[in-house]
A and B are shown apart, each in its own frame.
Chain A
Amino acid sequence: MPPKTSEGSPQPSTASSFFTVPPPIKKLFDKFPLATYPANDLPQRSPTRRQGNQLFVFTDAAGARNGRPSFNPQCLKWQAYLKFVGINFETTPSNNHASPTGALPFLIPSQPIETANAIPSHKLQKWAIEQVHCEEEQQLNLRFEVYASLLDTRVRTAWLYMLYLDSQNFEAVARRLYVEPATSNTLVRAALGLQLQQAARDELLKTSKYIDVAELEGDAGNAFEALSSLLGDDDHFFGRPNPGLFDASVFAYTHLILDDSLGWKQNRLAQLLREHQNLVQHREKLLGFFA
């Protein structure tokens, strides 16, 4: 810190002698820095010229090149939504530490309106509406928020249990997707794995005293049943001609639950989901957007 007393005050020596830097030391430090090097180049993997909108999601390098669906439901929801409303973007593999809000996904638009322009997930819909003037679907149907709560609570808790707390699935799926890309250090991997599991457990224990697997799965089964009768024979939820935010939210879970390439060891949710063929077909149709 620059010594404040060295400037401006008329009688520095007596009043604040305690705070003044002794002249020899000041002389020495005035010589620093001895040399100033130019700034480092950006890493080679960083894009030299940003083309298009960049959506930062949990995915791997190959998935990002081919625009494959993300393996994280939150990321996949927004990835799918932006595709459905027809916004072009590229996905970039990332993790929570990179995000300004601490959570993925976020988007850096191609035309910066201001300098601080990363758009976090809760503002993505507003941004998309400004870009392509699509509808804000929450306003159109009172059941939107109500049925969305099924996904946010019942399906999500069952998903958390299946991915993180079922030990076989955790070893086969979550460890490969979330832990191993983060580091190659065994100790850090072990700690990270434990942290993830503990976070999931804490989340489930917030609402109940103990984790009752049968009840979690029963609730998820009920939720699928309700969603299935909401969809009915329509192509998209609420009888819309084009898929929208609610379709994206449902697809985010149904796709990942039914995606066998993730390598699930135990997949009770898929069994429950396959009882409702219209949801399975809904997922297959929407998967066409990612082809």
Chain B
Amino acid sequence: MVLQLHVWGPAFALPSIDAQCLAAIAYCSLALPKDSWELVASSDPSVSPTGELPVLQNGAVWVSRFRSIVDYLRQYSKGAWDLDNQLDETSRADNIAFSSFIESRGQSLVDLYLYVTSQNYYGNTSPAYGSLLQWPNQWILPPKLHGAAKGRTEHLGLSSLDLQAMEDQRQRDHSAAVAAGKIPKNLIQRPRDTVSSFLGRTAQSNHFRIEALTAEFFEPLEAMLGRKAYLLTAEDEGTPSSIDCIALGYLSLALVPEMSFPWLRDAMRAKAPLLSAYTERLRRRCFGDAPIEIAHAFAPESVPESAPESPISWRAPGRISVAAVGTTLLSTLADSTPFLREIRKNNGLKKVAQSEDSGLSSTEKRVLNLHAESKKKDMYVSIATVVGGVALMVGYMMQVGMLSFQTEDEEEEVEEGSGEASEAAYPTVAEFLAV
């Protein structure tokens, strides 16, 4: 059985546009024999039952997320495909701590670099997605990813890298200034302080904050690497470990892409020359010498025989069918409708939990099932709240309105339905609404 690794497709001469996918590819390419796995650039999270990429498919078993994939490969091969089996206790601890460090800090930096920085997103990232996604996903997925990246980096206070947000901010400031003459000072909502608002509102003034963030990220890694061949082991005594794969995932996205505003690459080259050389070396080892093009992923047969041997064997993703396009469109429509979205998410989860061969243990199934159930309850509660609220509102209006309706009826009885009575009834409702 050939394992299939589904990932986001290639971009910027790298085999994937997503750091976690790059890490998974690097791990497979280092740990697995070449003929035991294939890479599929599905670029569509809906292929996976959990809705996430990267996902490893072995027949009917789907495993998503880097760490779960690593665990699954170890169990599946009975310990043979395991890069971390040589590590002693200290290295194991470092392996865990550095992966958590790279994943948390690296993710924020990559988010800021590829998505939040407007020049890079509109100039490079968005076009890259455009060429690797199929219609209609190229219109649906990039804005979602863009929004998610912005949400993840909000707390860093670097939204001024985002020119669009800057423009919104300026407009808010402007309207605040207009209102300043009319509204007492302490009632004007103060615009959120961004770093640049302290330092003079230019993109260059982000420099200090970015300087600090990149230094915090690169310096421990550079010190850890030192003159060694890999983060944890020297060349002569060992092999790369899973931490090297994660590092490669995030660092290659920082180093390799040609961006319009390459602040992260400049910072990395300046602050961590050893780390840059290490990334370059490891990248050639895991992904091959030649830069990867989109054609490699989508039409592997077309690559000429003379091309240098690559450690990755691609398999073209299935051609998108009319039915699939229809499903995507429908599900996007459904996902943007409240309640319907919740129902769909739950059903998807439950299906995973209940399918016999999903590769989950019984506890995991139980937990997943419980989670789906509780989400369902949550949803019913929110539906009930909305219905209850509307009913209460209508009831209240009826109560207020009823009095006047009754008077209307009485008056009608008296006056035999003259127009004046019904006219008199309307203002009460209108008054209520005005209040």
Contacts and interface: CB of A to CB of B under 8 A. Distances in A.
A229 B94 CA distance: 9
A235 B220 CA distance: 25
Interface residues of A, number: 31
Given A214-B364, A225-B93, A143 B220 contact: yes
Contacts of B93: 225-230
Contact of A211 (B65, B68, B371): B371
A207 B152 contact: yes
B98 interface: yes
Dominant SS at the B interface? Answer: helix
B151 interface: yes
Contacts of B214: none
Given A150-B100, A208-B52, A209-B50, A145 B216 contact: yes
A206 interface: yes
Contacts of A229: 89-90, 92-93
A206 B152 contact: yes
A52 to B, nearest CB: 32
Interface string A53-92: 0000000000000000000000000000000000000000
A57 B292 CA distance: 54
B92 A209 contact: no
Contacts of A228: 93
B220 A153 contact: no
A9 to B, nearest CB: 17
Contacts of B104: 149, 152-153
A222 interface: yes
Contacts of A226: 92-94, 96-97
A212 B49 CA distance: 14
B101 A146 contact: yes
Interface in A159-216: 167, 206-215
A214 B367 contact: yes
Interface in B141-158: 148, 151-152
B101 A149 contact: yes
Chain B interface size, as a band, is 35 or more
Interface string A131-164: 0000000000011011101101110000000000
Contacts of B148: 206
Nearest to A198: B378
A223 interface: yes
Interface string B57-89: 000000001011000000000000000000001
Contacts of B52: 208-209
A145 B224 contact: no
Dominant SS at the A interface? Answer: helix
Given A153-B104, A206-B152, A214 B363 contact: yes
Contact of A167 (B45, B219, B374): B374
Contact of A215 (B65, B107, B345): B65
B68 A146 contact: no
B371 A213 contact: yes
Contacts of B371: 210-211, 213
Interface in B136-178: 148, 151-152
Contacts of B238: none
B376 interface: no
B37 to A, nearest CB: 23
A10 B69 CA distance: 82
Nearest to A1: B184
Nearest to A145: B220
Given A143-B220, A223-B96, A210 B152 contact: no
A82 B184 CA distance: 41
Interface string B91-114: 011101110110111010000000
Contacts of A207: 107, 152
B50 A147 contact: no
A183 B401 CA distance: 34
A126 B189 CA distance: 30
Contacts of A227: 93
Given A149-B105, A206-B152, A214-B364, A154 B374 contact: no
Contact of A150 (B67, B96, B216, B361): B96
A142 B349 contact: no
Contacts of B45: 209
B68 A147 contact: no
Given A142-B224, A229-B90, A147 B97 contact: yes
Interface of A: 1, 142-143, 145-147, 149-150, 152-154, 167, 206-215, 219, 222-223, 225-230
Question: What are the 6 closest A-B residue pairs judged by CB atoms, nearest first?
Answer: A229-B93, A226-B93, A226-B96, A149-B101, A146-B101, A142-B223
9 contacts: A142-B224, A146-B101, A146-B220, A149-B104, A207-B152, A210-B50, A214-B367, A227-B93, A229-B92
